[in-house]
Structure 1
Amino acid sequence: MPDNNQSTILIVDDTPENLSVLGELLQRSYRVRAANSGRRALQIAQSQPIPDLILLDVMMPEMDGYAVLAQLRAIPATAQIPVIFVTAMDAIEDEEHGLDCGAVDYITKPIRPAVVLARVRTQLELKRARDFLRDQNSYLEAEVARRMAENQLIQQVSIHALARLAETRDPETGNHLRRTQEYVRTLATALQDHPRFAAYLDHRTIDDLAKSAPLHDIGKVGIPDHILLKPDKLTPEEWEIMKTHAELGSHAIDQAEADADKSVEFLAIAKEIAHYHHEKWDGSGYPEGRVGDAIPISARLMALADVFDALICKRCYKPAFPFDQASRIIVEGSGKHFDPDVVATFVREFETFKRIALTYAE
């Protein structure tokens, strides 16, 4: 009796004598299953154990071998099973047609036992090799995916650790990082098909934007406590120092980027955001006073996200504004503080903004 590790072969022929001959020849070394019609062959081929090889007669009533092979290839569970045609059709054209249909080999009747055994052995060895390579590829793909996910997690944790470092200097910010991250993602996704933004906002860039957003205020670690934590209005001199956090942040990220062995895309975006998220559409922002499209898209999105969140949150110098009041202030800033198209998108996505704010409330 064949053991459980032996290959399973399905033989298909409408003539009982042919099934008997092939069965007796093969069952000494293999687990053999038999079908006397094409339809029965399709049923057996999809049941356990799935055949490792099929020996298929061509000339059968109702459903010939070509039709059976076509059905086998159309079914995911049987599509990869190698099929050898076994037939009395011995013309070269018949063999060529059989191979063109997808058969791996072609044996003519009357069969020669030694030839059948050699062909069967060869095809089973090839199938084992293909299965091994497929299993190896699946394992490697899974391992690559696992390591990429692990690297992504490490990257995210590192980003948030750096952002939290800045946050410890300004304890009122709470969930500000998560909220602004989701605001930026919302704006970027909604603008993905906009003619002014489509070339920039592909899926990878949107992911990098969201990933980078928490680093927008990393430069605050360089601002003295007496200014950063001052409960009263800053003096003009103190305000000038406070504004340097944009350049301090971009410089720190620039140094990190320089230390990397190769370019890191999200760091380049993080540097843009840190440096330019206080620029204003009309040129009245800082640190460079850039105007309009000269401000990077990443920073334009971050500017609106940052201001909206500041408006709806309580600070030592102001109460939390209601959502509708914050929205009006954002809309009033269209064409002055903010890119008008970004503001229009904010208006369309306002309900999403509110949902994010409530989900990650203080």
Structure 2
Amino acid sequence: MQVLLIDDTPVSLTFMKYLVQKIPGGEVVSFADPLAGLEWCRGNEPDLLIVDFMMPQLDGRSLVAGFREIHPHVPVLMVTANHDTELRHNALQTGVTDFLNKPLDNVEFVARVKNMLALRASHKESRDRASWLAAEVRKATEKLVAQERSTIFCLSRAAEYRDPETGSHILRMAHYSRQIAGVLGLSAELQDLLLQAAPMHDIGKVGTPDAILLKPGRLSPEEFAIMKQHAAIGYKILSAMTSPLLATAAEIAYTHHEKYDGSGYPRGLKGDEIPLFGRIVAVADVFDALTSARPYKRPWSADEAADFLKAGRGAHFDPACVDAFLQDWDAVMQIRDRFADDDDEHGTQRALEVQMSAH
């Protein structure tokens, strides 16, 4: 335990230093110059400050006031021959913990110092315990988040196996979504939330009959009406959970097929009625569907898909989201190349659905 002594009288300083060093584990740092002592405190934290009241340049009360700005919880013993009650009250209000009267009594001095150091040790132990608990809570939270993300990944893969679209699609559209969010100026936390939630946008397709979901040709109007139900089904699946991540995923699942002009589904939301994440994912999802190869269509070129987005500004898509997506075209191409489809992966109905819903 480190004890800081500040007293302008060399004899008093030597005497107190001698007494403190008799206490097991007691370390002493001493200053005869109060300004130098206070400056030392700016880069160091003692376990106890013992300070004289009457000193030139800076009296004990002023020193303690400065000390408290740096170290609000370190105990302070003030040594004084002044017994004025008002002075002591003022000193206590400044931050003095207790007083020692001059002339110093050896036994009382050692006992007071031991008590103060015990108080300090208890405080440090509580602080360390609190830090340990905070670290444990943080680790437990990180574990829960990891488990949640693993669950989300499994849900997304479950939907993918029923709707055998490439796993690369959900990675591309999720990263496209984050790219848009970044250009729009959303915080890093919101960008990450979107990246994690976007892959679940089509989880509701687990409720779509195979005859419709896996049909290789164009859907009939009746079949397409059933296909459109996946947005509401996805919302029901994900909104049953209280996690902020899953709540965000539920919102995306419910709204990424809405259109800016109100002609989308399932609720016909318009403009800003559509949550921002839904508007962002709509752009990312359509672009990737158009540029992906499917058994029933050739992939569109990136430029063709970009023209489709431009043509849909203000109708199908939020103009701000389209502009944000096209603003950093190099980043879009890097995402596309980074998460390219594997040769053995297969496509499904998505691009056909997108094109049908666009008209």
Aligned to 1:286: 265
Calculate percent identity across the aligned residue pairs: 40
Higher relative contact order (CA 8 A, sep 6+): 2
Aligned to 1:16: 10
User: Which of the numbers 29, 34, 37 marks the counterpart of 1:38?
Assistant: 34
C-alpha distance in structure 1 between counterparts of 2:8 and 2:178, whole Å: 63
C-alpha distance in structure 1 between counterparts of 2:43 and 2:322, whole Å: 59
Aligned to 1:4: none
Question: Is the 1:86–1:109 Cα contact (8 Å) retained in structure 2?
Answer: yes
Aligned to 2:92: 99
Letter in 2 for 1:220: K
Scaled by the length of structure 1, the TM-score of the pair is 0.79
Q: CA deviation at 1:208?
A: 4.6
Answer yes or no: is 1:298 the counterpart of 2:283: no
Deviates more, 1:233-242 or 1:159-168: 233-242
Question: Which consecutive unaligned segments of at least 5 residues does structure 1 have?
Answer: 1-6, 194-201
Letter in 1 for 2:118: E
Quickly say closer, same or farther: Cα 1:100–1:253, change in 2 above 3 A: closer
Aligned to 1:52: 47
C-alpha distance in structure 2 between counterparts of 1:309 and 1:185, whole Å: 14
Answer yes or no: is 1:215 the counterpart of 2:200: yes
Letter in 1 for 2:51: L
Q: CA deviation at 1:18?
A: 1.4
C-alpha distance in structure 1 between counterparts of 2:198 and 2:49, whole Å: 58
C-alpha distance in structure 2 between counterparts of 1:61 and 1:290, whole Å: 75
Answer yes or no: is 1:109 the counterpart of 2:102: yes
Q: Superposed, which structure 2 residues align to 1:114-193 within 5 Å?
A: 114-191=107-184
Q: How large is the RMSD of aligned CA atoms in angstroms?
A: 3.3
Question: Is the 1:99–1:106 Cα contact (8 Å) retained in structure 2?
Answer: no
Deviates more, 1:342-351 or 1:272-281: 342-351
Question: Is the 2:283–2:317 Cα contact (8 Å) retained in structure 1?
Answer: yes
* Number of residues of Structure 1 aligned to a counterpart in Structure 2: 339
What is the CA deviation profile of residues 210-256 of structure 1, one whole-angstrom value per residue up to 9, with x for unaligned ones? 433211111222334454334443444443443333233233335xx
Question: Is the 1:83–1:104 Cα contact (8 Å) retained in structure 2?
Answer: yes
Q: CA deviation at 1:332?
A: 0.8
Question: Which consecutive unaligned segments of at least 5 residues does structure 2 have?
Answer: 342-359
Q: CA deviation at 1:157?
A: 0.9
SS at match of 2:50: strand
Question: Is the 1:10–1:45 Cα contact (8 Å) retained in structure 2?
Answer: no
User: Which of the numbers 221, 227, 230 marks the counterpart of 1:242?
Assistant: 227
Question: Is the 2:176–2:325 Cα contact (8 Å) retained in structure 1?
Answer: no
C-alpha distance in structure 2 between counterparts of 1:32 and 1:160, whole Å: 56
C-alpha distance in structure 2 between counterparts of 1:163 and 1:12, whole Å: 66
Q: CA deviation at 1:180?
A: 2.2
C-alpha distance in structure 1 between counterparts of 2:261 and 2:10, whole Å: 89
Q: CA deviation at 1:189?
A: 4.8
C-alpha distance in structure 2 between counterparts of 1:53 and 1:281, whole Å: 66
Answer yes or no: is 1:313 the counterpart of 2:292: yes
Q: CA deviation at 1:79?
A: 5.8
Q: CA deviation at 1:159?
A: 0.7
Quickly say closer, same or farther: Cα 1:162–1:13, change in 2 above 3 A: same
Quickly say closer, same or farther: Cα 1:167–1:20, change in 2 above 3 A: same
What is the CA deviation profile of residues 22-81 of structure 1, one whole-angstrom value per residue up to 9, with x for unaligned ones? 234333324252443336645876899x64212122334455545654554455xx6643
Question: Is the 2:201–2:252 Cα contact (8 Å) retained in structure 1?
Answer: yes
C-alpha distance in structure 2 between counterparts of 1:74 and 1:132, whole Å: 22
Quickly say closer, same or farther: Cα 1:35–1:275, change in 2 above 3 A: closer
C-alpha distance in structure 2 between counterparts of 1:73 and 1:278, whole Å: 59
SS at match of 2:22: coil
Question: Is the 2:157–2:167 Cα contact (8 Å) retained in structure 1?
Answer: no
Quickly say closer, same or farther: Cα 1:214–1:65, change in 2 above 3 A: same
User: Which of the numbers 213, 226, 251 marks the counterpart of 1:272?
Assistant: 251
SS at match of 1:168: helix
Quickly say closer, same or farther: Cα 1:134–1:283, change in 2 above 3 A: same
Q: CA deviation at 1:140?
A: 1.4
